[in-house]
Amino acid sequence: MFGTPPQDIAPLPAKVPVAEINVSLPWKLPTPDVLWFDTKLRVYLSAQRKPAPLAIIISGTGSDANTSKIQVLRGALYGAGYHVLTMPSPTFPGFIVAASSTGVAGDFQQDARDLYATMQEIIRHLPRKVKITDIDVLGYSLGGANAAFVKSIDAREGKLKIHRALMINPPVSLFSSIGRLDKLFATSIGSSDAAIEQLYRRLYAQLANLYRASDRMQLDENFLLSAAAAVLKTDAEFSAAIALTFRLDLVDMFFIGDLYAGTGVVTDPKHPPKVGDSLENIQRSLRLAPFSEYFSKVFAPYYLKARPGATSASLIADNRLNVIGAALRSDGDYYVQTNDDDLILDRRELSWLQDTLGKRIAVYDHGGHLGNLGDRQQVADMLRMLAGGWPGGAT
Amino acid sequence: MKSALLLLLMAMLGGCASQVLSIHTLPDETPAADNAAAAANAAAFAEAAATASGESSANANSANANSAKDVDLNQPEPPPVTPADAPPMYTYDPWERLNRFTYRFNARFDEAIFLPVVNTYQRVPGPLRSGVHNFFGNLSEVDSVINYLLQWRLKLGWRSIERFVINSTIGIGGLIDVATKLKLPGAPTGFATTLAKWGMHPGLYLVIPLLGPSTLRDGVGFAADYATEYGVDLFHLYRGDVSWGLGVANAVDQRAHIDFRYYSTGSPFEYETIRFLYVRRRLIEDEGLHAKQPRKRPSADAPAGK
């Protein structure tokens, strides 16, 4: 899955200007002591010098607004003439602290509302010289689902007049996708501290041997990236890496949610941890916790209280794309790109997407979860979809 | 001191801010060039990886050969690192409270002063900036030569001498790195590596003010490097009138070359994560230093670094 042959990589522009924007949002909740560094939301803007459509990219689970995947999408879109605004995932700690109105991340509707309000606030305050002619939203992985929900809210409220929404490798059901990742973690890594330690020891030994053979003086970033690619060459190892990355993001979300909701799972609500306190034991204990535990101990208690009449089952049902299924089916401005072998979807979910989107979905044979992002085909199709040139879309 | 203030002032004028948004321009991204570089890097690495797997299978063979009592001990290759050799996941950090406060101080200093200055500095034309970088790199060759000698890696030491002579003369006082173009790429070393070569473990984790993550050994090494440069006082740059300005310029140049931003992970566990990764990286570099000779490992239950 690593390493697209060079001829299949989409051509990108030589230069892309980027500005970092730090945003103070008026609805920010009081910041817990140990999260003092996350008080401003960090987004990135690549502006054209002339009037142009704006593409807003939302990052994947737990990720910031400047990941390597974002950089690829930004390059392609800027090269195609868009202003590009990139936003972190609503599950990224920097978003939860600076922009969330709840502190408990992961709810499709609530996250979309926070994203939508944030987008308005940013666009309202952009320098006048950035002239926007149209707005599209897109996102990869969880960010894809976020993008679709944002557009569905905008369809009701009309404050941004979002034109098209593109989901790249989205989940259909948050809970089943994450359940699959948790299962993957259990099968590829294991579900005990010892199993995690074993994975670490194996990686350490492999990296050390590669480094010893490499004749390099320093262990630099280039080496580490390539070494990771060499170590993760089998599907099983690659899956373990995806599962591990996801779990580490979940650890952050779990801890932060517990702090905000005051659910007292790993923090004492009366005596929250302070700057300078060691958090290693908290991190250690949460490493073993699957998403179902976050759901039952933090997410559900918080949202059941906030939404009278809700049940655990209704919370799970609310976090499915089916909730906006009617819009996805009838509104020709929603698009999907995914892969036949994407591990976050099962067969039923994939066929539901195909049935609902009709011609507005492109399903590639290979690529797994996001493995083909930045490939020639994926980028060309993405640009056609967003430009309204895709067969079956609204014009 | 004056130049430091000037840089500060430039940095303050560089940013613009409204109440809700504060916008700073970053250096342009170069995705086309990055893709090309990544492809080249992957290709180069594939070779190294092939060598590595070749070597480990050779080791496996020799192990088999040993068991078959068909022994050839002329070339005693040390065995490859095994999972059992990996240090524990815990890191030796007895000064954690102090370290955490230093980490926080560094993060704030970085955001308030260092990064704005570096940001402004990035607007200086590229060739000029690489001139500055090469100039400081050239000065550090003196320390490299001394340390390669102490590490008894004479070939590399000689390379540093060649580089220094070529770059100081043809390279106009070190401003142009001619040596790298002549296939003599730089490979700086210092006392930290010398201590490691002599068999010293990294020791306790240490966050140094302004410098960032380090270990006791690396911190001592850094101080010794500085003392050496100060002692040699090449071209009278370290004790003369310009030393303050040069020190600041050196710091800004170095910071501009480190692609790290405090708390860019946003994670409440960033301190733990960076500590874990930093110490493992240093330990793997040590494995590389001792690739040619087998060595004693610290006991398995001692935290990493001790």
Query: Is pLDDT at B57 greater than 50 in this prediction?
Result: no
Q: Which residues of B touch A34 (CB under 8 A)?
A: 268
Provide ipTM, 2 decimals. 0.91
User: Is pLDDT larger for residue A28 or for residue B59?
Assistant: A28
Nearest to B41 among A126, A226, A280 (CB): A226
- Residue A55: in which H helix or E strand, if any? strand A52-58
Nearest CA in chain B to A196: B89
Nearest to A24 among B20, B35, B267 (CB): B20
Nearest CA in chain A to B98: A276
Q: Which residues of A touch B81 (CB under 8 A)?
A: 204-205, 208-209, 212
How many Cβ atoms are within 10 Å of B94's Cβ, its own excluded? Answer: 11
**Confidence at residue B7, expressed as pLDDT on a 0 to 100 scale:** 53
Helix, strand, coil share of chain B (percent; to 5): 60, 5, 35
Percent of chain A with pLDDT over 90: 77
B187 touches chain A (CB under 8 A): yes
Q: A361-385 in b/e burial notation, b at 16+ Cβ within 10 A?
A: bbbbeebbbbbbbbbeebbebbbeb
Distance in angstroms between the alpha carbons of the first and the last residue of chain B: 39
Instruction: With H, G, I as helix, E, B as strand and everything else as coil, classify residue A232.
Output: coil
- Residue A20: in which H helix or E strand, if any? strand A16-23
pLDDT-based confidence at residue A284 (cuts at 50, 70, 90): very high
**Confidence at residue A142, expressed as pLDDT on a 0 to 100 scale:** 96
Encode pLDDT of B180-215 as tens digits.
Answer: 999 999 899 999 999 999 989 999 999 999 999 999
**Confidence at residue A220, expressed as pLDDT on a 0 to 100 scale:** 75
Range scoring the smallest mean pLDDT among A214-218, A219-223, B50-54: B50-54
Query: Is pLDDT at B40 greater than 90 in this prediction?
Result: no
Decide yes or no: CATH 3.40.50.1820 for domain A6-173+319-387: yes
Query: Is pLDDT at B52 greater than 70 in this prediction?
Result: no
SS (H, E, C) A87-137: ECCCCCHHHHHHHCCCCCCCCHHHHHHHHHHHHHHHHHHCCCCCCEEEEEE
The residue of A20, A34, A37 whose CB has the most chain B CBs within 10 angstroms, and thus the best one to mutate to test that interface, is A37
Question: Tokens representing A97?
Answer: 């602290």
**Confidence at residue B210, expressed as pLDDT on a 0 to 100 scale:** 92
Section A302-328 average pLDDT: 95
How far is CA B45 from its chain centroid?
20
Q: Which of B255, B264, B106, B252 is nearest to A20 (CA)?
A: B264
Distance CA B206, CA B216 (A): 6
Nearest to A125 among B18, B27, B51 (CB): B18
B297 touches chain A (CB under 8 A): no
Q: Do A75 and B83 touch (CB under 8 A)?
A: no
Instruction: With H, G, I as helix, E, B as strand and everything else as coil, classify residue B160.
Output: helix
How far does B29 lie from chain A, in Å, by closest CA?
5
Whether A81 contacts A274, CB under 8 Å: no
Section A4-10 average pLDDT: 83
Question: Tokens representing A150?
Answer: 């944002």
Q: Do A75 and B269 touch (CB under 8 A)?
A: no
Query: Is pLDDT at B171 greater than 70 in this prediction?
Result: yes
CA distances from B154 to A255, A297, B198, B250 (A): 52, 61, 15, 28
Q: Which of B211, B196, B209, B189 is nearest to B258 (CA)?
A: B211
Distance CA A129, CA A49 (A): 8
Distance CA B52, CA A207 (A): 10
The residue of B16, B20, B141 whose CB has the most chain A CBs within 10 angstroms, and thus the best one to mutate to test that interface, is B20
Residue A367 zone, left/alpha/beta (φ > 0; ψ -120 to 50; rest)? left
Query: Is pLDDT at A133 greater than 80 in this prediction?
Result: yes
Section A29-52 average pLDDT: 96
How far does A97 lie from chain B, in Å, by closest CA?
9
Encode pLDDT of B7-17 as tens digits.
Answer: 555 544 444 44
Distance CA A319, CA A297 (A): 17
Section A128-156 average pLDDT: 97
- For chain A, the farthest-separated pair of C-alpha atoms sits apart, in whole angstroms, at 64
**Confidence at residue B64, expressed as pLDDT on a 0 to 100 scale:** 38
Q: Which of A150, A162, A137 is nearest to A111 (CA)?
A: A150
Encode pLDDT of A54-67 as tens digits.
Answer: 999 999 999 999 99
Q: Which of A92, A161, A115, A111 is nearest to A323 (CA)?
A: A111
For chain A, what are the domain ranges?
Answer: 6-173+319-387, 177-310
Encode pLDDT of B203-251 as tens digits.
Answer: 999 999 999 999 999 999 999 999 999 888 888 888 888 888 999 999 9
- Phi first, then psi, for residue A178 (nearest 5°) are -70, -35
**Confidence at residue A237, expressed as pLDDT on a 0 to 100 scale:** 77
The average confidence (pLDDT) of chain B is 84
**Confidence at residue A48, expressed as pLDDT on a 0 to 100 scale:** 98
Range scoring the smallest mean pLDDT among A249-258, A329-338, B234-243: B234-243
Nearest CA in chain A to B79: A209
- For tokens 């149209």, what's the residue? A134
Distance CA A45, CA A17 (A): 8
Range scoring the smallest mean pLDDT among A239-243, A307-311, B154-158: A239-243
Q: Do B32 and A88 touch (CB under 8 A)?
A: no
Distance CA B81, CA B64 (A): 17
Nearest to B32 among A13, A208, A227 (CB): A13
Range scoring the smallest mean pLDDT among A86-95, A259-268, B69-78: B69-78
- For tokens 């994560």, what's the residue? B273
Query: Is pLDDT at A373 greater than 90 in this prediction?
Result: yes
Distance CA B246, CA B136 (A): 9
**Confidence at residue A187, expressed as pLDDT on a 0 to 100 scale:** 87
User: Is pLDDT larger for residue A1 or for residue A254?
Assistant: A254
Instruction: Residue count of chain A, please give it.
Output: 395
Query: Is pLDDT at B67 greater than 70 in this prediction?
Result: no
Distance CA A26, CA A121 (A): 9
Query: Is pLDDT at A96 greater than 80 in this prediction?
Result: yes
- Phi first, then psi, for residue A237 (nearest 5°) are -70, -35
Encode pLDDT of A230-249 as tens digits.
Answer: 777 777 777 788 888 889 99
Section A95-122 average pLDDT: 97
Q: Do B45 and A15 touch (CB under 8 A)?
A: no
**Confidence at residue B304, expressed as pLDDT on a 0 to 100 scale:** 83
Encode pLDDT of A163-203 as tens digits.
Answer: 999 999 999 999 899 889 889 888 888 888 898 888 889 88
Q: Do B285 and A211 touch (CB under 8 A)?
A: yes
Q: Do B31 and A279 touch (CB under 8 A)?
A: no
Distance CA A335, CA A90 (A): 21
Query: Is pLDDT at B51 greater than 80 in this prediction?
Result: no
Q: Which residues of A touch B45 (CB under 8 A)?
A: 214, 222-223, 226-227, 229-230
Distance CA B151, CA B296 (A): 18
- Residue B206: in which H helix or E strand, if any? strand B205-208
β pairing state of A16-23 and B21-29: antiparallel
B9 touches chain A (CB under 8 A): no
What type of residue sits at position A315?
A: L
How many Cβ atoms are within 10 Å of B21's Cβ, its own excluded? Answer: 22
Measured at the CA of A377, the angle between CA A376 and CA A379, to 5 degrees, comes to: 70
Query: Is pLDDT at B54 greater than 60 in this prediction?
Result: no
- Residue A181: in which H helix or E strand, if any? helix A174-188
